[in-house]
Structure 1
């Protein structure tokens, strides 16, 4: 038992934490490989992100209690009410994602899905390096999508920057260690906080199979 009646409780399940860090690493690899024109590796990292995003969407419905979108996505009223507490240093820590953080998670997943989706149809200027589904669109459309793919990357950089700034703000100003909880899965919260309720192993296995199977099929260009 900690100070003020707080206690460290299980908060994030292992699949949620692994997915979070795997996306971060795969995004970094995608960035590096694109800048250095390593398009074979870039495509592989894109397929990895695709599988991770599919799994996170699945886990947001079938996963542990704190991973489910229904447990943390709130409406405008609750989000604005929480935003008013941001200047307060002593605001109560929220179990799981707070309402603002929840919408940043949704935005991140949507942008990642859009970014990967555009990469699947993108065509380079010479037509040699193309996404696995580029045969479904014309060359001109593929080039337009490639341009949007570049702008989508810039949008993701802005969102990631805001995410890192928020983590730093909570750590330095509010004294809430969000990174630690995403590493070891536990967080110190008040007595009334609900601990994580995990999902059965078969749901995890099903989610991994769905994500891996879909990523593999798309990487093959849906050609069987």
Structure 2
């Protein structure tokens, strides 16, 4: 990093988040809330559709983490656990930092949320409500296994809630200690960074659409072909 740029505080607006990542993020917020409400109100048809949509988006995000924009790629932001703890130490000491995309600690939260959502939606495919409704793959297992996965399905949602609370707490911590707004860049895509920082490469929209279609096809095959077997 250019020390002169740091010293003078010279910064510029840089696009750090592409449209696909931002749409994924906010769509997921709405869908997870809808999944909870639909389950609590007994609207299981809606609950299943929301679950399929979440699974599609999670698969898309995994694919986008492999071939997408620089800040979306796992290889660009996943660091070692030591780096994550060191970063948290910098935050608690109120040491200023500028990350183009996810910081080392935030990277682990991203991976944890994706893993939990993937587990949540997959177990949902095998779960049942104990009465009339069951996931499209529940018939492939014995009733005992389906009941077990139903319990895990509910437990994993509790873990998702804990992870979301931790995520929101981290955002508030950044705002309080470092005066950094992490929400605005995820809304607009733009962030103020030192002049010495290069703008990350943004992958084309057509590639994102192709990955989304691929993810949707996988989910459709699982639900409508494997589930109907």
The TM tier, using the shorter chain, reads: over 0.9
Note if 1:179 corresponds to 2:183: yes
TM-score, structure 2 as length reference: 0.92
Shift of 1:45: 0.5
Shift of 1:221: 5.0
Report what 1:106 is aligned to: 111
- Paired residue secondary structure (1:84): helix
Higher alpha-carbon deviation: 164-173 or 14-23: 164-173
Determine the C-alpha separation between the residues in 1 that align with 2:89 and 2:176. Answer: 19
Query: 1:120-199 alignment to 2 at 5 Å?
Result: 120-126=125-131, 128-199=132-203
Determine the C-alpha separation between the residues in 1 that align with 2:223 and 2:47. Answer: 12
Report what 1:19 is aligned to: 24
Higher alpha-carbon deviation: 103-112 or 82-91: 82-91
Determine the C-alpha separation between the residues in 1 that align with 2:206 and 2:194. Answer: 32
Determine the C-alpha separation between the residues in 1 that align with 2:22 and 2:62. Answer: 14
Shift of 1:77: 2.7
Determine the C-alpha separation between the residues in 1 that align with 2:95 and 2:148. Answer: 49
Q: 1:206 aligns with which of 210, 213, 221?
A: 210
Which residues of structure 1 form unaligned runs of 5+?
A: none
Matched residue count: 222
Shift of 1:7: 1.1
Residues 183 and 8 of structure 1: CA distance in aligned 2, closer, same or farther (over 3 Å) = same
Contact 1:74 1:99 in 2 (8 A): yes
Shift of 1:92: 1.4
Moved over 3 A (4+): none
Note if 1:73 corresponds to 2:78: yes
Shift of 1:194: 2.5
Note if 1:64 corresponds to 2:69: yes
TM-score, structure 1 as length reference: 0.94
Report what 2:87 is aligned to: 82
Report what 1:217 is aligned to: 221
Shift of 1:201: 3.6
- Paired residue secondary structure (1:115): helix
